[in-house]
Amino acid sequence: MRLFASLLIIVLIFVNVQQFFGALIPAYKNYLKSVQNKNETYNKLRKVEFIGKFFDDLKNKKANELSSINQIEEKGELDILLPKKFEDYELVLIINSIFRSSGFNDPNIYQFQEEKLNHPQLSFLNLIKKNFSIKTVGSYGDLINLIKNFENHSRIFEFNKLNLSKAEDKIDLNADLGVYYLGEIKPLLEK
C-alpha cells in the first residue's frame, strides 16, 4: 500500500509538472515572439530615424547652400559670376573685350543656344547655359593667352570643344564655349 501511495504521488507530481511545462512552453514561445516583434519594430524605428536624419541633413545642407548664395548675392558678387539676365549683345561685348585684351581683333561668334541645366543637387537654382562658338587665327602663345583670359574672367566660361589646326605659320582656333547665368532662385522645397 505504501508503494501504491508513493507511486500515486509520483504520478500526480509528474502530471502537475507536465501541465506546468505544457502551459509554460506556449507562454515562452509567445514571449519570444513578442521580443522578436519588439526588435523588428525597433529596427524599423531606427531605419525611419536614419532616413529622417538624412533628410534633415539634406534640408540643412540645401538651406546652407541657399544661405551662402544669398550672402554672395547680397554682396553683389553673384551678379558678377552668374547674372540673372544675360543678353546676347552683352555676351558679344564681353567676348570682344576678352579678345581685345588678348591682342586679337573681334572674333567670329555664332550659334547662340540656351540650355536649361537640371542638376539634382542644384534643383533649387535656375541655371541656364548659353552656348556659342568662336573662330579666330593667331600664334600658339596668343591663343594660349586667350584661353587663359577666358578661364580667369569673372563670368563662368566653359570650353565644351576646342579644335586647333595649323595653317602655315598661324593656328586656327575653333571652339564651342558655354557661359552660365542664373534665373530666379526657387524656394528650397519646391520641385
pTM of the model: 0.53
Enumerate the domain spans of the chain. Answer: 1-75, 83-182
Share of the chain above pLDDT 70, in %: 82
For residue 191, what pLDDT is reported?
43
Q: What is the pLDDT of residues 7-45, one digit of tens each?
A: 888 888 888 888 887 887 888 888 889 999 999 999 999
Q: How many residues are present in the chain?
A: 191
The most confident of 82-96, 113-127, 149-163, by mean pLDDT: 149-163
pLDDT value at residue 42? 92
pLDDT of amino acid 112: 78
CA distance 91 to 69: 23
Quote the CATH superfamily of domain 83-182.
Ribosomal protein S6/Translation elongation factor EF1B (3.30.70.60)
Helices and strands, number each (H, E), in the chain = 4, 4
